[in-house]
A and B are shown apart, each in its own frame.
Chain A
Amino acid sequence: MAVATRSVQRTRWIKLQVFRYITFAAAAVFFLVPIGAMLEFSTRGNTGERTLAYWQSIFSYPDLIDFNFGPAPDAAINASLELALITSVVMLVLLVPTMVWVRLKLPHLSRLVEFICLLPLTIPAIVLVVGLFPMYIWLGTNLSDSILTLAFAYVVLVLPYCYRALDAGLGGIDVKTLSEAARSLGASWFAVMWRVIVPNISNAILNATLLSVALVLGEYTIANNLLYNNLQVELVHLGRANAGVSIAVAVASLLFAFLLLVLLAFIGGRPRRARPEAATALAGPLAASQT
């Protein structure tokens, strides 16, 4: 008789495993075939042989990449990397002190700050562009028409995701007690922030930074409509002239972003609390993605 029960639960378990592996196999095909196809396409020679010619010729496109990492980058990859850096720094400088300060001194503003930070999720990027368009015309004529000015808009774009990541980090520590303890030991507010709060939310900061890097590198809508050539815009231009190179760069940037987020998942999985931050930071109540 014991055998009978065994078979009931055993059958259920087998059914579940069959379902799981069919699902994973189907998902793997749907998601990996296109990426594999990009690798295949970017290494396909004219007569069907394998060649790295497209990959090698990436560096012969000065519009795509060069060695000018200055304040006025000409090449799209350089510009996107610099934008990622500037956006992350500005985002952190703007967001971390404000969020800590609001927790400490202005708790009645916390709902307002949260609302503002999550607002970009409900405003499609293309709509934001419409409002930014006249502003960037003004910026271009009066201040600077450098592509790096895009960072102003990108900080807004990454705001919701970074807010979530940082909020999760700050929620995990007792900001008030920690800073009161530090203050009572004679620390300045700067020291409180830099020596006490930041080290305790280092994972959240890393989270937020990696997210904003990934988002900026993948950004197309704003740059394209404000007529700037960042990585993604250049990829589309290039795709019309030389699909092989453009697909090679696209798959490289996709894998780079994947690497960043895998890194995030494994770093985020290590500390005290489990790692839902990564997932929730990415998934909004209303996530207007840049796709």
Chain B
Amino acid sequence: MTIAGSPAVATNVGRPLVGGRRFSLDWLGAVPFLVYVGLFLLLPSAIVGLGAFFNADGSFTLDNYAHLSRSYVVKATIDTISLSVVTAVIGAALGGLLSYAIVTGSPNGLLRRLVVSASGVLAQFGGVTLAFAFIASIGPAGFVYLFAQAHGVDYYAHGIWLFELPGLALVYLYFQIPLMVLVFLPALDGIKPQWREAAESLGGNTWHYWRHVAGPILFPSFLGAVLLLFANAFSAYATANALINQGQPVLSQQIGGALSSEVGAVEPGFAKAIAIEMIVIVTIVTILYSLLQRRTARWL
């Protein structure tokens, strides 16, 4: 909006006054949208932001935040961050390799289209299904496990890690790698073949090219993708909830638990405090991301 506070006045400024009527009603066109997002996006956000400062009686309190120091919340925070870091880094590395393999093929080829479509599904479509997929394959009744067991390999000899954090990390990779492909392909597409040829004609070999040209150009995109993958894993809920029903190892599950617990007390204020904690961490990552963008914006 321009100088004036009211949009009606603002639109008026640039227009000649013809006749008496010059109250532009253009801004009315945006009202339905703004009302909708106000109700179903901004209002719930406000409820979270403010609600965390009130207890069940509606009086102001900081207790909800104090509860964040409960040992199981601290542990869930650390576990979720570790899980997110590990799956973001591994996912970015493997997804980066896969993207490179795609980008060195035909730009409009069938293979590329299929991989991109599949990545879209796997990166975004229900974590429940992904959890099932791993239960059905490497789970204790999955054929991979049965096959391995029949051949004398028992990878659950020390406990069924599929239903613990390591298993969760493996399943997370199933959507982290595709997400990496989706976000990193455009960056790889931006690499011009002339750069390699120029580097070669100036005396550089393959190593020089990656070390001095392609590497530095891709690095910001890569780091940005890692942050994105981190936020993605950090926010995930469905996979963890479908895979693990013993305890609530990740933060998002803690929120679900505090919101409508099957056992124990319902603590809506506490749920909001954890939500705020998540928002703060995601916001820090977002800020890092935009700082990175600004740094590379100089030459991009």
Please state if B228 and A290 are interface contacts (CB–CB under 8 Å): no
Interface: B132 (CB within 8 A): yes
Q: Which residues of the partner chain A approach B241 to less than 8 Å between Cβ atoms?
A: 220, 224, 236
Please state if B37 and A285 are interface contacts (CB–CB under 8 Å): no
Please state if B175 and A289 are interface contacts (CB–CB under 8 Å): yes
Count chain A residues whose beta carbon lies closer than 8 angstroms to a beta carbon of B.
Answer: 97
Please state if B45 and A123 are interface contacts (CB–CB under 8 Å): yes
Question: Which chain A residues (170-213) contact chain B, with CB distance < 8 Å?
Answer: none
Closest residue on chain B to residue A233 by CB atoms: B128
Complex Cα distance, B271 from A27, in Å, reads: 38
Q: Which residues of the partner chain A approach B39 to less than 8 Å between Cβ atoms?
A: 152
Complex Cα distance, B137 from A269, in Å, reads: 34
How far, in Å, is B98 (CB) from chain A's closest CB?
5
Q: Contacts A31-B174, A131-B46 given; indicate if A257 touches B125 (C-beta within 8 A).
A: yes
Please state if B116 and A265 are interface contacts (CB–CB under 8 Å): yes
Interface: A73 (CB within 8 A): no
Please state if A106 and B278 are interface contacts (CB–CB under 8 Å): no
Q: Which residues of the partner chain A approach B143 to less than 8 Å between Cβ atoms?
A: 37, 40-41
Using an 8 Å CB-CB cutoff, how does the interface string of B60-101 with A read, 1 for contact, 0 for none? Answer: 000000000000000000000000000000000000011011
Q: Which residues of the partner chain A approach B226 to less than 8 Å between Cβ atoms?
A: none
Interface: B291 (CB within 8 A): no
Q: Which residues of the partner chain B approach A265 to less than 8 Å between Cβ atoms?
A: 113-114, 116-117, 120
Q: Which residues of the partner chain B approach A224 to less than 8 Å between Cβ atoms?
A: 238, 241, 256
Complex Cα distance, B122 from A57, in Å, reads: 27
Using an 8 Å CB-CB cutoff, how does the interface string of B111-136 with A read, 1 for contact, 0 for none? Answer: 10111111111111111111011111
Question: Which chain B residues (229-286) contact chain A, with CB distance < 8 Å?
Answer: 231-232, 234-239, 241-242, 245, 252, 255-256, 259-260, 268, 271-272, 275, 278-279, 282-283, 285-286
Q: Contacts A130-B259, A135-B44, A276-B186 given; indicate if A98 touches B120 (C-beta within 8 A).
A: no
Q: Say which residue of A42, A101, A279 sits within 8 Å of B30 (CB atoms).
A: A101
Interface: A232 (CB within 8 A): yes
Interface: A33 (CB within 8 A): yes
- Which of A19, A106, A240 counts the most B-chain CB atoms under 10 A from its CB? A106
Q: Which residues of the partner chain B approach A53 to less than 8 Å between Cβ atoms?
A: none
Interface: B144 (CB within 8 A): yes
Interface: A85 (CB within 8 A): no
Q: Say which residue of B27, B117, B136 sits within 8 Å of A258 (CB atoms).
A: B117
Please state if B124 and A282 are interface contacts (CB–CB under 8 Å): yes
Count chain B residues whose beta carbon lies closer than 8 angstroms to a beta carbon of A.
Answer: 99
Question: Which chain A residues (110-156) contact chain B, with CB distance < 8 Å?
Answer: 113, 116, 119-120, 122-135, 152-153, 155-156
Complex Cα distance, B37 from A95, in Å, reads: 11
Interface: B153 (CB within 8 A): no
Please state if A94 and B289 are interface contacts (CB–CB under 8 Å): no
Q: Which residues of the partner chain B approach A288 to less than 8 Å between Cβ atoms?
A: 231-232, 235, 282
Q: Which residues of the partner chain A approach B44 to less than 8 Å between Cβ atoms?
A: 128, 130-132, 135
Q: Which residues of the partner chain A approach B1 to less than 8 Å between Cβ atoms?
A: 108-109
* B contact face: mostly helix, strand, loop, or mixed: helix
Complex Cα distance, B242 from A204, in Å, reads: 33
Interface: B214 (CB within 8 A): no
Q: Contacts A23-B101, A221-B238, A283-B182 given; indicate if A34 touches B228 (C-beta within 8 A).
A: no
Closest residue on chain B to residue A218 by CB atoms: B126
Interface: B150 (CB within 8 A): no
- Which of B36, B183, B235 counts the most A-chain CB atoms under 10 A from its CB? B235
Complex Cα distance, B34 from A116, in Å, reads: 9
Interface: A278 (CB within 8 A): yes
Using an 8 Å CB-CB cutoff, how does the interface string of B29-40 with A read, 1 for contact, 0 for none? Answer: 110110011011
Q: Say which residue of A38, A214, A243 sits within 8 Å of B125 (CB atoms).
A: A214
Complex Cα distance, B41 from A265, in Å, reads: 30
Q: Which residues of the partner chain B approach A1 to less than 8 Å between Cβ atoms?
A: none
How far, in Å, is A27 (CB) from chain B's closest CB?
5
Please state if A278 and B120 are interface contacts (CB–CB under 8 Å): yes
How far, in Å, is B142 (CB) from chain A's closest CB?
6
Using an 8 Å CB-CB cutoff, how does the interface string of A60-74 with B read, 1 for contact, 0 for none? Answer: 000000000000000
Interface: A59 (CB within 8 A): no
Please state if A289 and B232 are interface contacts (CB–CB under 8 Å): yes
Closest residue on chain B to residue A161 by CB atoms: B124
Interface: A10 (CB within 8 A): no
Closest residue on chain B to residue A289 by CB atoms: B124
Please state if A135 and B133 are interface contacts (CB–CB under 8 Å): no
Interface: B48 (CB within 8 A): yes
Complex Cα distance, B35 from A122, in Å, reads: 20
Interface: A286 (CB within 8 A): yes
Can you name 10 A-B pairs with beta carbons within 8 Å?
A34-B130, A37-B144, A130-B48, A131-B44, A220-B126, A227-B260, A265-B116, A282-B182, A289-B175, A290-B236
Interchain residue pairs A-B with the least CB separation, the first 5:
A131-B44, A37-B137, A124-B235, A218-B126, A291-B127
